[in-house]
Amino acid sequence: MTETSTTSLPHGDDGSGGPAPSAAGISGAMEALLLLAEEPRRSDELAAAVGVPEPVVTEALAALVNFYDETGRGFELRQVGGGWRYYTREEHADLIAATVLEGQQSRLSQAALETLAVVAYTQPISRGRVSAVRGVNVDGVLRTLLARGLIEEAGHDPDSGAVVFATTSYFLERMGLRSLDDLPALAPHLPDAEVLEAELGQLAAAAPVGDQDEAPNRHEHEKPEDAT
């Protein structure tokens, strides 16, 4: 994406000759800042950058979202991970994959995706509990997810003292989510929470003393290309 036009947007006072800048007047500045963004930018950060009240920025961002939708641009402006960023539209995903991602080992393995899902829906969660849910040793997979910046250490379990993991803001960004509340509901696909907790408790109780956070014997290794 090399340029973005806002010629059909109405322009207001840019602040140089009026009492207050308008949302239309800062639309170009918003585009310029967001085109350079390597991660989602919060509305308060954008407001500080252009020196206008945050409500003006919020109005300008909403106008840009509508403008891109109405004019059928190949990209869109999304609010994800607590901020705003440009993304190509979903209908062009196959084209992007064929021309940009061809030959790159950028996809997570099935094992990594399943482990990431366990962390996302049950965080904060220890390595041992992830292993208990999946029934395999997940050390290698967790290392991959940590290296990708999708999960992070989030303290220690108050009972066992084991390190617990949680997803990151980068995870929200890559998934196109505003917050964890936007995760799809799993209730129709899972057993009752009390039943699941009881089963996990039994597994934990059966583990050898001093090895509560060790994974089951069956190991699951990431392929080298999955760690790139």
- pLDDT tens, position by position, 32-63: 999 988 788 999 999 999 999 999 999 999 99
pTM: 0.47
Residues in the chain: 228
pLDDT value of position 213: 47
More confident site: 31 or 212: 31
Q: For strand 125-126 and strand 163-167, is the pairing parallel, antiparallel, or unpaired?
A: antiparallel
Residue pLDDT, tens place only, 57-101: 999 999 999 999 999 999 999 988 789 999 888 898 888 777 765
Q: How far is CA 160 from the centre of its chain?
A: 29
Whether the CB-CB separation of 134 and 115 falls below 8 Å is answered with yes
Q: Where does the pLDDT of residue 7 fall: very low under 50, low under 70, confident under 90, or very high at 90 and above?
A: very low
| Residue 33, SS3 per DSSP | helix
Residue type, 180: L
Asked if residue 137 has pLDDT above 50, the reply is: yes
Average pLDDT over every residue of 162-168: 92
In whole numbers, what is the pLDDT of the chain averaged over residues? 78
Residue type, 14: D
Q: Where does the pLDDT of residue 186 fall: very low under 50, low under 70, confident under 90, or very high at 90 and above?
A: low
Per-residue CA distances from 60 to 36, 67, 116, 160, 178 (Å): 17, 10, 35, 49, 19
Average pLDDT over every residue of 134-155: 88
Could you tell me which residues are beta bridge partners of residue 164? 126
Q: Where does the pLDDT of residue 150 fall: very low under 50, low under 70, confident under 90, or very high at 90 and above?
A: very high
pLDDT value of position 99: 73
